[in-house]
Amino acid sequence: MGGYAHRPPPTADLPPTMPTRLTINGRPREVSADPATPLLWVLRDELNLTGTKFGCGMGACGACTVHLDGNAVQSCMVPVARAEGKRVTTIEGVTGDVAERVRRAWIGEDVAQCGYCQPGQIMSAVALLAATARPSDAEIDEAMRGNLCRCGTYQRIRRAIHRAAEVRADD
């Protein structure tokens, strides 16, 4: 596999699959997978949660960002065994005041162009604002550095994060 998060071809040499208990978007789930399988593939292929995108498979682009116990992680780099017993939140399940403010700000700033990177961008922004209510530009840059946008909407992303930090979801 060479460090990439691509699914390995089926062979007899692979370790056996094992049941793994996860909490996905607030729901207890059990999957049967090789413990080394990237969480990304379990989410997409086993649980049909396709909002989490495959981008690079090397942890370099952020398209696959999810929350693991509230922290933004690149799911292509997290073996499913590491997620056992933890709370996994995907773009389909991210809720609450911060998530709603980010969604509204994303629309208000017209952030999305092609949209492919947006689930990962939003997940990183929500994690940042949940931890830092009013982040500086430097804090935004640091939190978002693992998320690439091929369309180059970085200035709109930063404005949207500032906007989400300034407004309440019920405004």
Residue 2, domain member (yes or no)? no
> Does the pLDDT value for residue 8 go beyond 60?
no
Share of the chain above pLDDT 90, in %: 87
Co-location of 146 and 116 in the same domain: yes
pLDDT for position 1: 39
Co-location of 79 and 41 in the same domain: yes
> Does the pLDDT value for residue 75 go beyond 50?
yes
> Which residues does 2 contact at the CB level (< 8 Å), separation at least 6?
none
* Helix and strand totals (H; E) in the chain: 6, 5
Question: Which domain CATH number covers 30?
Answer: 3.10.20.30
- Given a contact cutoff of 8 angstroms between Cβ atoms, the answer to whether 35 and 80 are in contact is yes
Task: Write out pLDDT tens, residues 141-169.
Answer: 999 999 999 999 999 999 999 999 998 64
Number of domains in the chain: 2
Co-location of 77 and 53 in the same domain: yes
Co-location of 84 and 102 in the same domain: no
Residue 10: band (very low, low, confident or very high) from pLDDT cuts 50, 70, 90: low
Domain that residue 22 falls in: 18-89
Task: Write out pLDDT tens, residues 93-128.
Answer: 999 999 999 999 999 999 999 999 999 999 999 999
- Given a contact cutoff of 8 angstroms between Cβ atoms, the answer to whether 130 and 98 are in contact is yes
Co-location of 84 and 24 in the same domain: yes
Residue 46, domain member (yes or no)? yes
Average pLDDT over residues 7-34: 81
